[in-house]
Homo-oligomer: A and B are copies of this chain.
């Protein structure tokens, strides 16, 4: 408690050992005897000592820090959920997280232009968008390990779900309820970002085709943003053979569709079944049926993998695929004939 900003030297003096021993004891090195560890720990406690990480990083070359690139703001539910997982996974390893938000092409260029992580992170986690070959080359030329979240890239370390399969699961469920054929609602792709929505769209198409739907049964509805359910509803109502069910690429879009639909006095699930994707907080509140993906777990696994790569180890599994599950609530029901 006493000294406010004590150094390792002070701890060493108090414990009656050298700074080298203190350093080793605090990191629980097997080179230090148990008795000495006790003494050192006690002295550190009494002096209220905490390692100055900058000095440690300089001496060891390891900065104890993972960087993450997220697409969009932190307040977007998906980003928050991934970050929670990353923090969970890093906490035990006493690593920190540096968050870089990328919302525009300019941001992205700025990041790769200056590559601020260069010597300031031990590994980089990239969520929700693919890197160009150039960007990848630059990272590997500086020896920065890379982990993808929310997408797979041939042979590179990644943690994700199978977006296509997950969507097929949802579509199959709707079809089994008698809906011939469900539509699929999607936000227009962000420029310059490849994005798991592609896999979901593929899954939708593939499943319909597999179940015997024809080309004209495939109805993809476009929104200008995740809160633009209104456009989706307008397209829905304008369709010749109006679908009795729609699956949205995200819960946020699904909720927006629900709001626009009920605002017109129409009912859910009676007049339209809605199926979401994610299982975010408010899905339960509004009784939204959805394909749940374990987003926070994605983050945890990514953290673990990044730590392994940073330590120079080869992860047991380079491409981790986590399971999704169908969560049935009150926005889906069998087609009334």
Contact = CB atoms under 8 A, between A and B. Distances in A.
Contacts of A97: 99
A73 to B, nearest CB: 5
Contacts of A83: 74-75
A325 interface: no
A58 B50 contact: no
Query: Which among A80, A116, A259, A282 has the highest number of chain B CB atoms within 10 Å?
Result: A282
Given A58-B55, A63-B54, A75 B285 contact: no
Contacts of A54: 53-55, 57-58, 63, 120
Contacts of A287: 259, 263
Interface in A65-97: 73-77, 79-81, 83-84, 87, 96-97
Nearest to A80: B75
A63 B58 CA distance: 13
Interface residues of A, number: 52
Query: Which among A74, A143, A256, A262 has the highest number of chain B CB atoms within 10 Å?
Result: A74
Given A73-B80, A74-B80, A75-B296, 8 more contacts: A53-B54, A53-B120, A54-B63, A75-B77, A75-B84, A96-B98, A99-B99, A229-B285
Interface of A: 4-5, 48, 50, 52-55, 57-58, 63, 73-77, 79-81, 83-84, 87, 96-99, 101, 114-116, 118-120, 141-143, 227, 229, 252, 255-256, 259, 262-263, 281-282, 284-287, 296, 330
15 contacts: A5-B118, A5-B119, A50-B114, A52-B58, A52-B120, A53-B54, A54-B55, A55-B58, A74-B74, A74-B81, A97-B99, A229-B285, A252-B281, A255-B282, A263-B287
